[in-house]
Structure 1
Amino acid sequence: MDLERLFVDLDGVRWADADHAYGEADDLPGMLRALTGDEEQASEALDELWSSILHQGTVYAATAEAVPFLARLAAAGVRTGDLLVLLGGIAESRDEYGLPRPGACRSAVADQLPLILPLFDSPDPEVRRAAVRAAGCTGAAPALPALRARRAAEEEPAVLAELLAALVLLDPVEGAAAATAALSPELPAEVRIVAVLGCLDLGLPWSAVHRETTVSLLPAGPLVAARFDEERDEPLHYAVDALLLRDTDEDRTAAYELIEAALRLPGAEARGEALWAAEHACMISRGAPLRLAPALLALLADPSFTDPVPMLPVLGRLGGHAAPAAPALAALAELDGESADRALEVLVRIAPDQAGPLLARDLDGRPRTMRAVTGFPGIRPALPIPYTPELLNAIRIRLTGIAGADDTTTGDARELASLLLSWGRQASAALPELTAVFERLPAPLAPALAAICPAEGRERTAGLLRRAAAAGESGPEGRCAAAQALRTLTGETAPLVSALKDALTEESAPELSRAAGELGPEGDVLIPRLWAALTPPGTRRTVPDMDADIETALALWRLTGDAAEPVRVLGGVLAEAADREWTRRTLSAAARAATLIGPAAAALAPALEALLDDHEQVPAALLALCALGHETDRARAADLLLTSVERETDWTTALEALAALGPEALTEKVTARLTAIAERDLRVVVSGVGAEPAAADESLRRRVRELLATAG
């Protein structure tokens, strides 16, 4: 092997000027040379290259620089198949970062076709497949003659499938004819499933032939398992997604009929693919739960369907349409193990009144359900579960166990307290058990202690909270939590002022400043501590520092009524955060703070206007500009805000800002877009955990309809 020829110009590349996923790419020459080493060195280098130049599908400036050397190595027989797969992934990527021009990496691979195309004739079918994939992903027409020649000679089904996929990419007209012809039952299954996918990609009308072909090939996952195309590695799911995204009545019906036909198949693997496709349909289509519920419930009742566990995720997405499944879910939830826990979580969603007694039977053995009903602040909303005596009694028993344990589990206690808090004084019978644990865990339990306390226990509970608020062993968090709960219970503020005074001396945290700002005149004594908590001028702030400074600035404004210094602090945060990564939430928080201050924060308008170039910051920035009284181009603002909603970008703030623009901003064009958002079949909110996105999407629809009602 002539390594000198392979690596000519390698050291002439200015690698330090080209970045990859981890920064400067001056380590790439070593990785490339290591590919020619022993098996261990080469495997490690290949892993590092994937991670560095095609990190999670993203390509970089250094990626384009590395492509010629990868192609030379592949052509010379150095890990040919592996490097061709890497080159195909690079050519396929549309996720680009820091490139000199769009498509630079794809062009770099296309430039290497003279080295890639001869590998179409390799005796190794895996090399042929990888070479065809890499050439097809370039989209470069010069690859067509070699592709056609290989198709005429190829006999291996897997390679034929890859050739068809590449033809669809390189020549849509010829590809459409070839894909349609390849639906024939006489051709290998691997080719036929790729033909279905190709027809979808080309936007061809869906027909009964496409449906029958797809259903006949299920389970289709094994047919594409060896392909390099990870986007289409679940053909049924992909087909349903593609049809629904066409967003026409005809294609929606086609997607539902495809799922229903797949659900009727007898095999567990085929049904599994159908259930996953049905779940995805319910995730993105507002009409899917109603349409698919009968077929799914029929399958659940089918005697041949002996394992309902794979159906649990999609049942959770059906909402009220899954109510008839409650008896089956309850029967499964009565069993032991993870499957019973998952069934109970779904039962909470569709029949919460039946879930409480079942959860009470085994609190410790239902961690998934407990996480669902207690939620997690800012990440996962809690699913409400009605009060039942059985569940309250189970919580009391569990609290007694925690009180007697040597090691107290904060997470368990927090979840139990969350349930009690949601019930309020209905849960007052648990006050003795909660009190027994409180002294060990004041921070997570204090709010629940105040919430469930009955009138006759108020004096004793208040005393307990006062002691915890004053005790140093409670720690700053515990003292403040106890003092805040005491204020809720009795209206006393002095213990909270004292706890915050000491806590602010020890640390600066957003929640401390927020609590101080909410005290009103009683918090005036904390003003010096808040001033001291601000990051000193000239100090480079971390993201937590900036978050704390935002809340501290707001607290100072609330307590003093003077906006000058708080506005200066917010301006500094906006300037620093704009030049950093991972500060999206911080920028939005600063904009929301400016919204609260209002016209007195007018000096922040230029910094807020600069945020309008970042679609993620548009909602908070425009809401703030409206609050500042800043003159805004309403047409442009409305367009930006509607785009934010359509992209699921902080839609609650975007709609609030759109309302703040006033009725005159709700033009005919704007109301037409709002109407489409509210009434279309495709959901706007699709990201999140479990069934929560569907609930959020319904909230969005209600809010949009309310806004439309003001348009007159």
Structure 2
Amino acid sequence: MDLATLFADVDRIDWSQVEHAYGPARDVPGLLRALPTGDDEAEEAEQELWSGLLHQGSVYSATAAAAPFLAGLAVAGVRSASLLDMLGAAAGSTDECSTPRPGAVRAAVVAQVPTILPLLADGDAEVRRFALYAVARCGSAAAPAAGAALRQRWAAETDPAVRADVLTACVQVTGEAAGDLCDAARSASQPPPVRTAALLARVETGRPWTAEHTAAVVALAPLRRYAAGDPWGRDPLPDLAVGLHAHGCVDAAIELVGAVLAQSVRALCAGDEDARPTVEEATWAADRLVLRSRSAPARLLPAMLPLLDDPATAGDVITALRDWAVPAPEAVPPLARLAEGADGSADRALEALVALGAPEATALLARHLADRPLALKSAFLRTVRRPPAPLPYDPALLAAVRARLAAVTAGTATPGYRAPSAPVRTNEPVLLAGLLGGWGPAARSATPELVAALAHHPVAAGRALAAVADAEPHPEAMAALRARAGSGRLADRLRAATELHAMTGEAASLVAVLGQILDEPDGPQTHGLDALAPLGEQARPLLPRLLALLAEPAGSPATAPVLRARLAAGLAVRELTGDQDALLAVVLEVLTRTSGWWGDPAAAAAASAAALLGPAGRTAVPRLLPLLDRPGTAPAAARALVALDPGSDRPAGVPLTDLADRVLAALRPGAYRNAALAALEALAVLGPTAFTPAQLAHLGRLANGDRRIVGSGSYTELVRGDEEFRAAARESLAEATR
């Protein structure tokens, strides 16, 4: 098709009726016409097409409409590699917006496969690579047209990188053909990129993996050099390890990474500088595998410890020691030596010592507190996560923390080296106060420093004061909190008043702040009313305002903060008056207005509130039942249904075993720690009679299997979060089998 005909076809489409990321796609025809110009305008047009048609990986109705023209331009030699890349990304996207039906964009690209196939023989190797990519991302839907073409390309292709891509494309389009080619590609006569692709194909197609294959990987490593320019964006060694683990080959995955790691570390320690790229690849693969596998850390860390003696590789080992939650007493002496240094590696070494709970860490932190911000942050984290326990109290460290807090509050602190993360320095007062709060009354002598910090850091200092101060001998702390609760930003005042109430039971300041929040038209939208709960009867002066808030028509549009504020008000009214109906009304409102994923936290909170109503809340059942289909709300919904129909083995007509299935379905790999723990709590509410043998076996795999469940959240907290979940899952399993 010539360009004139192609652009005539472009004009036959009403682009105002299809959408891209920015609304009606009226600009697409002009952008397509700009592509053949070959100047800066063409480059800009391509970027705008990427941004509009594949915005952050999402695809749209305009993406499907543009697919034939992108393919036609590519065949005409217009920015062929880039447009084929765009088509491949579009076919592989699962995030569809404004499309007429699921899979519409992929179907549009699949329809262009016959147009694209001739480019598999293009004279430009890059074009051939991206043509293979575009076809492959269509998956098995491309097989009827592409299967034979891929085999023909395998027979004809001489470029090693492109030949490897042919094999990779076969995996995605026709697994049977790829399986046949795997064995042929293993031959030592094949170039390394093809052998690497064959190993990846073996794992992706689930074919057996043996020690022979591990030896082949060791011989080829580092494998990254064979993925240069790879349109698939793969990282071969980590992908092999994670793929093996996903297929249930736990030992093979760990042994693969361990073999590459051990050999490369030995070579590097023997003076072979050429081994460095392989060491880097292997340590990264180890880190990727540890985030999936519970047994990998203890099995892989020993092979990495010799790298502590090499400044170029010590950082990776220190990170592993910090994050992998493996006791490593043999690592403490070298870490302690590094922690006495004068550069950033000293801070990271002490950070790891603190995370490991090494006794040496306390004295080192006391001596070097001013220039060890990462170690301070690690100490702070020990006070806020469960487990481990806070860093043990030490008089020397307490003195150092008091002096440092006074200095940073007064603005006279002089940091040592510049910390690698500016926010760590910015948050230093928060970290210092948090460490004091973790020690509780043992840190009471730091009350003057915390009082001085209160005006600058009310949240952190207020929380710490609540933990360490004694109202009787330290009236200045109470006076400072009262003053902070009386002026400034509402959020800061609310925190100070909340801490004052926690310390003394004094409610006046907290009631005053909450009253102001309730009086402001948009107050409940910006400040949650969760602080009502601890007040109990002391919140009675707020009752008229709370009733007025609940009597207001439901605002539109609904936002999670507004709904959570109304829910908190309903709970407080019930506490003060016993009025079940007011709480039920707001529960029904929240459940009605949180149908999207964004509303899962508010919907779960509403389900928890419904549970408090007991049988009086049965009106909510029809709105609770759909929550069982959403992983983010299923645990709270199950608990609510049990509470609304106490003693029944079929609450709301749903057998307990079905509720257990819904809750267990929420415990999928990749969960957040808090959500996973909430699901375990819901299982406990169902009781031991709820579980079938198959469900108990599933719970056993969650508790004792190798696959981690916690996989979302802060990178440095994933392993520890999963360890906490595993301990709780084992307790749940024990309760369920008694």
TM-score (norm 1): 0.91
User: Which residue number in structure 1 is paired with residue 584 of structure 2?
Assistant: 567
Q: Percent identity?
A: 40
1:181 aligns with 2:177: no
The range that moved more, 80-89 or 137-146, is: 137-146
Give the alignment of 1:366-377 within 5 angstroms: 366-375=372-381
Q: Deviations over 1:304-331 (max 9, x none)?
A: 6753112222223432332321222222
User: Which residue number in structure 2 is paired with residue 641 of structure 1?
Assistant: 663
Shift of 1:27: 4.0
Query: CA 1:15–1:681 in 2, change beyond 3 Å: closer, same or farther?
Result: same
Aligned residues: 705
Query: CA 1:352–1:626 in 2, change beyond 3 Å: closer, same or farther?
Result: farther
Query: CA 1:413–1:202 in 2, change beyond 3 Å: closer, same or farther?
Result: same
1:600 aligns with 2:600: no
User: Which residue number in structure 1 is paired with residue 303 of structure 2?
Assistant: 295
User: Which residue number in structure 1 is paired with residue 76 of structure 2?
Assistant: 76
User: Which residue number in structure 2 is paired with residue 150 of structure 1?
Assistant: 153
User: Which residue number in structure 1 is paired with residue 272 of structure 2?
Assistant: none
| Cα separation, 1, equivalents of 2:457 and 2:225 | 52
Shift of 1:420: 1.0
Shift of 1:644: 0.9
| Cα separation, 1, equivalents of 2:484 and 2:254 | 62
Shift of 1:624: 1.9
SS of equivalent residue, structure 1 residue 658: helix
Does the CA-based 8 Å contact 2:382-2:390 persist in structure 1?
Answer: no
User: Which residue number in structure 1 is paired with residue 421 of structure 2?
Assistant: none
The range that moved more, 48-57 or 155-164, is: 48-57
Query: CA 1:250–1:497 in 2, change beyond 3 Å: closer, same or farther?
Result: closer
User: Which residue number in structure 1 is paired with residue 364 of structure 2?
Assistant: 358
Amino acid at match of 2:218: V
User: Which residue number in structure 1 is paired with residue 9 of structure 2?
Assistant: 9
User: Which residue number in structure 1 is paired with residue 731 of structure 2?
Assistant: 706
| Cα separation, 2, equivalents of 1:97 and 1:130 | 25
| Cα separation, 1, equivalents of 2:590 and 2:149 | 57
Does the CA-based 8 Å contact 1:442-1:474 persist in structure 2?
Answer: no
Query: CA 1:648–1:272 in 2, change beyond 3 Å: closer, same or farther?
Result: closer
| Cα separation, 2, equivalents of 1:701 and 1:380 | 13
| Cα separation, 1, equivalents of 2:727 and 2:597 | 34
Amino acid at match of 2:168: A
Q: Deviations over 1:162-216 (max 9, x none)?
A: 1222233334333223222222233222222111111111211112332122122
Amino acid at match of 2:659: A
Does the CA-based 8 Å contact 2:478-2:500 persist in structure 1?
Answer: yes
Does the CA-based 8 Å contact 2:3-2:73 persist in structure 1?
Answer: no
Does the CA-based 8 Å contact 2:92-2:137 persist in structure 1?
Answer: yes
Match of 1:315 among 301, 321, 326: 321
User: Which residue number in structure 2 is paired with residue 548 of structure 1?
Assistant: 565
Does the CA-based 8 Å contact 2:18-2:61 persist in structure 1?
Answer: yes
Does the CA-based 8 Å contact 1:32-1:45 persist in structure 2?
Answer: yes
SS of equivalent residue, structure 2 residue 427: helix
User: Which residue number in structure 1 is paired with residue 239 of structure 2?
Assistant: 238
| Cα separation, 1, equivalents of 2:242 and 2:91 | 24
Query: CA 1:482–1:95 in 2, change beyond 3 Å: closer, same or farther?
Result: closer
The range that moved more, 246-255 or 138-147, is: 246-255
Does the CA-based 8 Å contact 2:193-2:227 persist in structure 1?
Answer: yes
1:497 aligns with 2:511: yes
Match of 2:697 among 672, 682, 687: 672
Match of 1:269 among 259, 268, 277: 277
Q: Deviations over 1:323-354 (max 9, x none)?
A: 32122222223334443333222222213433
SS of equivalent residue, structure 1 residue 686: strand
Amino acid at match of 1:332: L
Amino acid at match of 2:583: P
The range that moved more, 239-248 or 256-265, is: 256-265
Query: CA 1:420–1:545 in 2, change beyond 3 Å: closer, same or farther?
Result: same
| Cα separation, 2, equivalents of 1:145 and 1:545 | 59
Shift of 1:556: 1.9
Structure 2, gaps ≥5 residues long:
269-274, 415-424, 646-650
SS of equivalent residue, structure 2 residue 209: coil
Query: CA 1:8–1:386 in 2, change beyond 3 Å: closer, same or farther?
Result: farther
The range that moved more, 136-145 or 551-560, is: 136-145
Query: CA 1:602–1:239 in 2, change beyond 3 Å: closer, same or farther?
Result: same
Amino acid at match of 1:309: G
Give the alignment of 1:351-430 within 5 angstroms: 351-375=357-381, 384-405=390-411, 411-430=427-446
Q: Deviations over 1:395-452 (max 9, x none)?
A: 2122222342399998332222111111112112222222223244444312322322
1:212 aligns with 2:218: no
Match of 1:591 among 583, 607, 625: 607
Query: CA 1:668–1:356 in 2, change beyond 3 Å: closer, same or farther?
Result: same
| Cα separation, 2, equivalents of 1:308 and 1:60 | 46
SS of equivalent residue, structure 1 residue 229: coil
Amino acid at match of 1:423: W
| Cα separation, 1, equivalents of 2:500 and 2:173 | 70
Amino acid at match of 1:89: A
Does the CA-based 8 Å contact 1:215-1:261 persist in structure 2?
Answer: no
1:330 aligns with 2:336: yes
Does the CA-based 8 Å contact 1:20-1:52 persist in structure 2?
Answer: yes
Does the CA-based 8 Å contact 1:117-1:143 persist in structure 2?
Answer: yes
Shift of 1:241: 0.6
User: Which residue number in structure 1 is paired with residue 419 of structure 2?
Assistant: none
Does the CA-based 8 Å contact 2:382-2:391 persist in structure 1?
Answer: no
Amino acid at match of 2:120: F
Does the CA-based 8 Å contact 2:546-2:569 persist in structure 1?
Answer: yes
User: Which residue number in structure 1 is paired with residue 418 of structure 2?
Assistant: none
Q: CA RMSD in A?
A: 3.1
Q: Deviations over 1:444-501 (max 9, x none)?
A: 31232232225762334334434444x3x34434443333333333333333333433
Shift of 1:73: 0.7
Match of 2:291 among 271, 279, 283: 283
Amino acid at match of 1:219: P
Structure 1, gaps ≥5 residues long:
none
Does the CA-based 8 Å contact 1:316-1:690 persist in structure 2?
Answer: no
Does the CA-based 8 Å contact 2:383-2:435 persist in structure 1?
Answer: no
Shift of 1:282: 1.9
Amino acid at match of 1:300: L
| Cα separation, 2, equivalents of 1:378 and 1:105 | 46
Shift of 1:623: 1.8
SS of equivalent residue, structure 1 residue 421: helix
User: Which residue number in structure 1 is paired with residue 256 of structure 2?
Assistant: 255
The range that moved more, 475-484 or 129-138, is: 475-484
SS of equivalent residue, structure 1 residue 582: helix
Query: CA 1:328–1:656 in 2, change beyond 3 Å: closer, same or farther?
Result: same
TM-score (norm 2): 0.88
SS of equivalent residue, structure 1 residue 117: helix
| Cα separation, 2, equivalents of 1:607 and 1:376 | 40
Give the alignment of 1:641-660 within 5 angstroms: 641-649=663-671, 650-660=675-685
User: Which residue number in structure 2 is paired with residue 129 of structure 1?
Assistant: 129
Shift of 1:513: 2.3
| Cα separation, 1, equivalents of 2:513 and 2:412 | 28
Amino acid at match of 2:215: E
The range that moved more, 690-699 or 12-21, is: 12-21
SS of equivalent residue, structure 1 residue 518: helix
The range that moved more, 522-531 or 89-98, is: 89-98
Amino acid at match of 2:129: R
Amino acid at match of 2:575: R
| Cα separation, 1, equivalents of 2:470 and 2:715 | 36
| Cα separation, 1, equivalents of 2:94 and 2:382 | 35
| Cα separation, 2, equivalents of 1:654 and 1:527 | 34
Shift of 1:562: 0.7
| Cα separation, 1, equivalents of 2:164 and 2:514 | 68
| Cα separation, 2, equivalents of 1:463 and 1:121 | 81
